[in-house]
């Protein structure tokens, strides 16, 4: 039997995907369903962090999700998250006082609930303003909400880590590519 | 002199350790002024958006690689 290179690559890919699926045993998280359910539940959210960069076109790696949500929608987000076996590490009142919390399960979702945040150099950003300027991208039959580029750059300045500086370089390059 | 820190500690210092506002801005400015770095980033974006032309495809790419990394990390030795 003659086996061409393409067939070998397909077999290797199948084996890789099988290995991934084995590693996923018990993993109930369906990313598409999660975004669809957030939309259905009317949760006002912005996908921030590196996964937002990925959606826009930057090939960066990340292991978690980061959302910035309207504080009043915390309970609605938690209700959606519970159907994906993600549980909050603080109740909504505590989360509101802290400004952030985490949804934990097979996935980890960092949730920022502060109504506003300011960069180290004093530039403020309010959730409602960022949400009003959001960029909506279609994915999985849902509308995934991202901050506009300028706002996403501001959120990256909040962290002030070396990797945030690299992410800003990616975002500036995306801006140039979009011109 | 040997570095006694763990790989995780070294990686944290390189990528994750928060900088002062001034140092962070200096790093951003230096990265944006580095033409070779900018050209490389532009090439990466061009490849990624050509290979994965939709937001959904790109999110799936990230998810696939996250799961692969987790599977590799939990794979027993030997």
Report whether A73 contacts A45 (CB < 8 A). yes
Question: Within a 10 A sphere around the Cβ of B19, how many other Cβ atoms?
Answer: 18
pTM of the model: 0.85
- Candidates A76, A56, A82, A22; CA nearest to A134 is A56
Give B 8-67 residues with CB within 8 A of chain A: 14-21, 24-25, 27-28, 31-32, 37-38, 41-42, 44-49, 54-56, 58-67
Name which of B28, B64, B71 is nearest A22 (Cβ-Cβ).
B71
Contact A23 B67 (CB under 8 A): yes
Contact B16 A24 (CB under 8 A): no
Q: What is the pLDDT of residue A53?
A: 98
Per-residue model confidence as pLDDT tens digits over B7-59: 888 888 888 899 999 999 999 999 999 999 999 999 999 999 999 999 999 99
**Nearest-angstrom CA–CA distance, A45 and A131:** 8
Q: What is the pLDDT of residue B52?
A: 98
Q: What is the pLDDT of residue B4?
A: 81
**Nearest-angstrom CA–CA distance, A110 and A97:** 15
Whole-complex ipTM: 0.86
Residues of A in contact with B41 (CB under 8 A): 169-170, 173
Q: What is the pLDDT of residue B2?
A: 67
What is the architecture, at CATH level 2, of domain A28-178?
A: 2-Layer Sandwich (3.30)
- What residue in A sits closest to B55 (Cα-Cα)? A55
Give mean pLDDT in consecutive 10-residue pieces for chain A, a chain of 179 residues.
47 48 58 96 98 97 95 97 97 95 96 95 96 97 96 96 96 91
Q: Per-domain residue ranges for chain B?
A: 7-74
Residues facing A87 on adjacent strands: A104
Residues of B in contact with A173 (CB under 8 A): 38, 41-42, 45
- What residue in A sits closest to B37 (Cα-Cα)? A169
Q: What is the pLDDT of residue B56?
A: 97
């Amino acid at each position: 039997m003659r086996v061409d290179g393409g067939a070998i690559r397909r077999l290797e890919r199948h084996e890789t995907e099988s290995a991934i699926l084995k590693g996923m045993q018990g993993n109930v998280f369906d990313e598409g369903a999660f975004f669809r359910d957030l939309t259905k539940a009317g949760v006002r959210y912005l996908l921030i962090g590196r996964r937002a960069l990925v959606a826009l076109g930057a090939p960066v790696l990340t292991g978690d999700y980061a959302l910035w949500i309207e504080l009043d929608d915390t309970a609605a987000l938690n209700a959606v998250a519970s159907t994906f076996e993600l549980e909050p590490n603080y109740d909504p009142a505590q989360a509101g006082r802290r400004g952030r919390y985490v949804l934990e399960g097979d996935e980890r979702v960092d949730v920022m609930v502060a109504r506003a945040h300011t960069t180290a150099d004093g530039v403020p950003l309010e959730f409602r303003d960022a949400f009003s300027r959001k960029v909506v991208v279609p994915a999985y039959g849902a509308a995934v909400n991202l901050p506009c580029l300028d706002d996403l750059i501001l959120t990256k300045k909040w962290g002030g880590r070396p990797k945030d500086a690299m992410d800003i370089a990616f975002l500036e390059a995306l801006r140039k590519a979009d011109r | 002199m040997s570095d006694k820190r763990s790989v995780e500690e070294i990686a944290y210092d390189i990528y994750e350790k928060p900088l002062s506002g001034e140092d962070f801005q200096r790093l951003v400015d230096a990265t944006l002024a580095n033409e070779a770095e900018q050209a490389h980033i532009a090439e990466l974006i061009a490849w990624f958006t050509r290979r994965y032309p939709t937001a959904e495809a790109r999110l799936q790419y990230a998810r696939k690689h996250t799961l692969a990394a987790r599977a590799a990390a939990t794979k027993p030795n030997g």
